[in-house]
Amino acid sequence: MEALLTYLLKVNVGLIVFYLLYVVMFRKDTFIKMRRYFFLSAMAFSVLYPLVSVEALGNLYDFQAAFVQTQETVEVGEPNMVVLGENESAGTPFISLRQALYWLAAAGTAFFLIRFLWQIFSILRIRSRSEKKMISGLSVYHLPDDITPFSFFNWIFVHAESHSREELTQILLHEQTHAHQRHSVDIVLAELLCIFFWWNPFVWLMKKEMAINLEYLADNGVLREGVNTKAYQYHLLRLTYHETAVQIVNNFNVSQLKQRIMMMNKSKSPTAMMAKYLMILPLALLLVTINSCANKEKKTPPDETAEVTAPQTDSIVDATDITLMDKSEVFVVVENQPEFPGGTPAMMKFLKDSVKYPVEAQEKGIEGRVITNFVVEKDGRLSDFNVVRGIDPSLDKEALRVLKAMPNWKPGTQRGQNVRVRFTLPVVFRLMGDKKTTSAPPPPPPPPTSAEKKSLGSAPPPPPPPPAYSKSREEMKNTNEVFVVVEKQPEFPGGTQALMKFINENVNYPREAQENGIQGRPIVNFIVEKDGTINDVKIVRSVDPLLDAEALRVAESMPKWSPGKQKGQPVRVRYTLPLVFRLQQ
């Protein structure tokens, strides 16, 4: 979708530039035939030049050198966050602004396309109702109603009884010129541009100029046959009250009557002035050069292709990960993230209903958080399951089993297309007293043995401990517990894009690390306090002391975040953020 948007933008830039050139340089001359070639060339060139990229022209200007002063880059991607909680308070918009604009553009195109097809149908309907006759040796369609004469390709329509013999001769000469010079081709091409670029006012202005220029050509064809100029102009004036049949045809009478009469009386421009039309060539070369340079900017050498490196099993990768995409087109950050059918609440319910705490892990008191990831395919299927950070083989195996049992997801989209997305999901196993809790509700405790029954006597059994995250709203308000997964994750002021911009603008690639060719991805972990301040910043996966120190410095310099919330109350949340330091080759 992004490629299509870029193409449409380039086409419209070309159309705007050529129209402005026409207004400034060519509008006042009398080279009406040259104008027609100019309009047709401008339309064809504007549609085709974005597809042309000349490598030699692209090498003339190195845009990248003008902006990149150093050889190092710091890449920051958007966190792939998973929300686990009882309620999903931070929803995403149903439709983004970009999607709304796409739909608006598509709706406008559909409207004008239907309008165009209706006009074609109207012409065919008029033709079917008209009687074909021979008038002055020409085959014409006699209109059933008194409307303005017109032509469409080789079809000429006229209501003969409404005109004198002299007027009829002039009308037929006029429309015959339109038909022989195939002016309807120009009109249809201009109409198609208006259909697909209806939101560009310059396209409509160009169509209007093309239409009046075709009338200049037809008028000139009439006058070349020896028709008296004044008599012809009076004839045009008498037809101003007639109704126009269809917009896309060549009408004998159009609204720009004054312009037509002025053009007929205008002195011819000197032939030498025709040389100014050569200005089209350098302008076209400039547009091709800019397009070639822009395409060169978008090309990435093979050795600079961003790669996804699978994290090691001993690394801590929280519900975040950053990078762009790997060579197999697996995204981590996309415009619309994949979603479990029914949303996050449905996913939490599925986990609670499906996870079974392994008995062996309960007996050994093993608990913790298993970090997993998987790929959501273009059709919503899940594949390539991995345990990024394991706890115990039994818990790891159970987490993978539940993931593989999930139904198909709603796939992620990038630029309007379904793409493969790697998604990270933590599954929490927690023991509380003698009772286990996970993301699934605990099964009932085993019945007591006979010895236990004797020791208990008639005393009632102790009440079970509360499940995880069962604290009241007031308890949440007063707790100092550090959460990892909450209903509403903390957020950098301005969102993820602002976070990426902040890091890119503040990270200084250590010079010594550059000289030694050190690069990698240190992972920073910190607590977002209830008031949004950053605290307890530490490195959870080290790369090199130089890069680790710079990553810590940047994290500690961040402004206050919007705090995370659980049950509507601000809580302390531990957040993990990877930073990628990569040297360009």
Q: What's the distance, CA 167 to chain centroid?
A: 56
Give the pLDDT score at 348. 83
Whether residue 455 lies inside any domain: the answer is yes
Same domain assignment for residues 326 and 214: no
Whether residue 487 lies inside any domain: the answer is yes
Give the pLDDT score at 366. 87
Q: How far apart are CA 243 and CA 156, in angstroms?
A: 16
Last residue in a domain, options 264, 282, 314: 264
**Cα atoms in the 13 Å half-sphere on the side-chain side of 271:** 0
Q: What single-letter DSSP state applies at residue 267?
A: P
Q: Is the entire prediction scored with pTM above 0.85? A: no
Same domain assignment for residues 237 and 314: no
Same domain assignment for residues 325 and 440: yes
Query: Which residue shows structure tokens 């961040």?
Result: 558
Whether residue 554 lies inside any domain: the answer is yes
Domain span including residue 573 = 479-585
Does the pLDDT of residue 107 top 90, yes or no?
Answer: yes
Give the pLDDT score at 95. 60
Whether residue 91 lies inside any domain: the answer is no
Same domain assignment for residues 156 and 184: yes
Query: Which residue shows structure tokens 């149908």?
Result: 121
Q: Poorest-confidence range of 215-229, 293-307, 418-432, 517-531? A: 293-307
Give the pLDDT score at 478. 65
Same domain assignment for residues 293 and 249: no
Instruction: Read off the CATH number of the domain in which 344 is found.
Output: 3.30.2420.10
Q: What is the mean pLDDT of residues 82-97?
A: 43
Query: Which residue shows structure tokens 């993230």?
Result: 337
**Cα atoms in the 13 Å half-sphere on the side-chain side of 494:** 9
Q: Kindly give the pairing relationship between strand 534-541 and strand 150-152.
A: unpaired
Return the closest-CA partner of residue 533 out of 557, 550, 565, 553.
Answer: 557
Token pair for 497:
């894009």
Same domain assignment for residues 312 and 457: yes
Confidence of residue 301 (pLDDT cuts 50, 70, 90): very low
Element holding 43 (H helix, E strand):
helix 32-48
Last residue in a domain, options 451, 470, 489: 470
Does the pLDDT of residue 77 top 50, yes or no?
Answer: no
Return the closest-CA partner of residue 82 out of 529, 489, 532.
Answer: 489
Does the pLDDT of residue 90 top 60, yes or no?
Answer: no
Rounded (5°) CA angle 18-22-25? 125
Q: How far apart are CA 554 and CA 580, in angstroms?
A: 13
Last residue in a domain, options 412, 435, 470: 470
SS3 440: coil
Token pair for 98:
């970009």
Q: Kindly give the pairing relationship between strand 534-541 and strand 523-528.
A: antiparallel
Better-scored residue on pLDDT, 213 or 239: 213
Q: How far apart are CA 227 and CA 126, in angstroms?
A: 30
Does the pLDDT of residue 449 top 90, yes or no?
Answer: no
CB atoms within 10 A of CB 454: 9
Q: What is the pLDDT of residues 31-66, one digit of tens each?
A: 999 999 999 999 999 999 998 888 776 665 544 333
Q: Give alpha helix (H) positions in 130-182.
A: 165-180
Q: Which residues contact 466 (CB under 8 A, 6 or more apart)?
A: 432
Q: Are 316 and 85 in contact (CB under 8 A)?
A: no
Does the pLDDT of residue 202 top 90, yes or no?
Answer: yes
Confidence of residue 20 (pLDDT cuts 50, 70, 90): very high
Q: Poorest-confidence range of 348-352, 368-372, 469-473, 565-569? A: 469-473
Same domain assignment for residues 398 and 280: no
Query: What DSSP string runs through 49-107?
Result: GGG---HHHHTT--HHHHH--SSEEEE---------SS---SPPPSS-HHHHHHHHHHH
Query: Which residue shows structure tokens 């995880």?
Result: 468
Return the closest-CA partner of residue 577 out of 189, 163, 74.
Answer: 74
Q: What is the pLDDT of residues 156-200, one digit of tens each?
A: 999 888 888 888 888 899 989 999 999 999 999 999 999 999 999
Q: Poorest-confidence range of 10-19, 61-70, 283-292? A: 61-70
Q: What is the pLDDT of residues 537-566, one digit of tens each?
A: 999 888 888 898 999 999 999 999 999 998
Does the pLDDT of residue 455 top 90, yes or no?
Answer: no
Give the pLDDT score at 113. 95
Q: Which amino acid is at 325?
A: M
The total domain count for the chain is 4
Return the closest-CA partner of residue 401 out of 378, 433, 427, 367.
Answer: 427
Q: What is the pLDDT of residues 256-273, one digit of tens each?
A: 777 888 888 888 889 889
The chain-wide mean pLDDT, for the chain, equals: 78
Does the pLDDT of residue 129 top 50, yes or no?
Answer: yes
Q: Give alpha helix (H) positions in 355-495.
A: 359-364, 393-404, 450-456, 473-478
Give the pLDDT score at 155. 92
Whether residue 333 lies inside any domain: the answer is yes
Return the closest-CA partner of residue 235 out of 250, 246, 219.
Answer: 219
Whether residue 69 lies inside any domain: the answer is no
Q: What single-letter DSSP state applies at residue 319?
A: S
Whether residue 109 lies inside any domain: the answer is yes
Please state whether 536 falls in left (phi above 0), alpha (psi between -120 and 50) or beta. left
CB atoms within 10 A of CB 469: 19
Q: What is the pLDDT of residues 479-491, one digit of tens each?
A: 678 887 778 889 9
Same domain assignment for residues 307 and 293: no
Sign of CA dihedral 347, 349, 354, 360: positive
Same domain assignment for residues 256 and 190: yes
Give the pLDDT score at 473. 60
Same domain assignment for residues 457 and 309: yes
Q: What is the mean pLDDT of residues 568-581?
A: 88
Q: Poorest-confidence range of 38-47, 63-72, 372-381? A: 63-72
Phi and psi torsions of 420, nearest 5°: -80, 130
Q: How far apart are CA 178 and CA 217, in angstroms?
A: 8
Return the closest-CA partner of residue 576 out of 545, 544, 534, 543.
Answer: 534
Q: Poorest-confidence range of 263-267, 309-313, 389-393? A: 309-313
Same domain assignment for residues 349 and 255: no
Same domain assignment for residues 323 and 292: no
Whether residue 24 lies inside any domain: the answer is yes
Q: What single-letter DSSP state applies at residue 336?
A: B
Q: Poorest-confidence range of 1-5, 91-95, 454-458? A: 454-458
Give the pLDDT score at 91. 41
Q: Poorest-confidence range of 217-231, 288-302, 305-319? A: 305-319
